[in-house]
Amino acid sequence: MSIYCVFCTRSSEKISKTTQKLLEFMAKCEIKTLVMAGADSIFSAYEKAFNHVKPNDEDIFIFCHDDIEIREEPKVFKDKLEKALTEDAGFIGPAGTTRLSENAVWWDHELWKAGFHRGFVIHLDKQNKEYDTPYGPPGEVVVLDGLFLATRAKTVKEVGLKKPEYFEGEWDFYDIHYTTTAHLKGFKNKAIHMNIVHNSGGELVGRDSWHKNREAYIKNTSLPLQVKI
């Protein structure tokens, strides 16, 4: 079994310190990293990387942002991935929700208050100060945030990485599409505890393409979706 990490970055010539640290971490874990520089679509970049590798079914794929820091011991990190990616597992990651409502916003604050969310992420504010974002206890979820997603290659083959025809934007709602597709196919997505710092507030609601893809997703999906208890 091999583990691969794929992420997009704007330029391979001007890699940020955070991205360089991520590359160093993956090297310590002996994880093969594919950096998709200058891609025009996250969907096509992920698909191209996956097809290039031609993985075995049990191989693990990590799809993540280039602005994260993983604060785990390499062995502990790899053990967490292997342990969580059981036979019935879909995607795993640090944060998600057990219910995706009609607005298709996974971090919906009303659902958060009601205790539907799962996971934990460390974010940075505008002054680059860290603050904890405890969403809820770890567990099965319908959807996961795309800052970090890991899965088995066989799940990727079932779910697919292509952009849905109804999406206009090339960079938005891929995480919602991938993880809810896995859920609807009977896989169990899971939010597990990982010490991950996201060098961002984590919200893209000001981007037009985000709104367009969200609207298209809502029109083409029977919502709400919820984990069966």
pLDDT tens digits, 2-12: 999 999 987 65
- Phi first, then psi, for residue 215 (nearest 5°) are -60, -40
Distance (Å) of CA 60 to CA 72, 181, 213: 18, 18, 28
Q: Find the helix or strand (DSSP H, E) in which 213 lies.
A: helix 208-219
What is the per-residue pLDDT across 109-126, written as a single tens digit (0 to 9) for each?
Answer: 999 999 999 999 999 888
DSSP secondary structure letter of residue 172: S
Cβ 164 vs Cβ 115: under 8 Å:
no
Share of the chain above pLDDT 90, in %: 87
Q: What is the mean pLDDT of the chain?
A: 94
Sequence-ordered list of residues with C-beta below 8 angstroms from that of 59, at least 6 positions apart, any chain: 1, 2, 3, 4, 53, 152, 153
What tokens were used for 48? 């191209």
Domain ranges of the chain: 3-226
Give the model's confidence band at 206: pLDDT under 50 very low, under 70 low, under 90 confident, else very high. low
What tokens were used for 2? 């091999």
What tokens were used for 156? 């990727």
Share of the chain above pLDDT 70, in %: 96
Does domain 3-226 fall into CATH 3.90.550.10? Answer: yes
If one counts every other C-beta atom within 10 angstroms of the C-beta of residue 67, the result is: 17
Cβ 149 vs Cβ 91: under 8 Å:
yes
Give the model's confidence band at 38: pLDDT under 50 very low, under 70 low, under 90 confident, else very high. confident
- Phi first, then psi, for residue 70 (nearest 5°) are -105, 115
Give the model's confidence band at 170: pLDDT under 50 very low, under 70 low, under 90 confident, else very high. very high
H/E/C letters for each residue in 132-198?
EEEEECCEEECEECCCEEEEEHHHHHHHCCCCCCCCCCCCCCHHHHHHHHHHHCCCEEEECCCCEEE
Beta-strand (E) ranges in 10-65? 32-37, 60-64
User: What is the arithmetic mean of pLDDT over 69-84?
Assistant: 97
Q: What is the pLDDT of residue 9?
A: 86
Q: What is the pLDDT of residue 21?
A: 95
Give the model's confidence band at 228: pLDDT under 50 very low, under 70 low, under 90 confident, else very high. confident
Cβ 103 vs Cβ 81: under 8 Å:
no
User: What is the arithmetic mean of pLDDT over 186-206?
Assistant: 83
Pick from 179, 166, 168: nearest CA to 220: 166
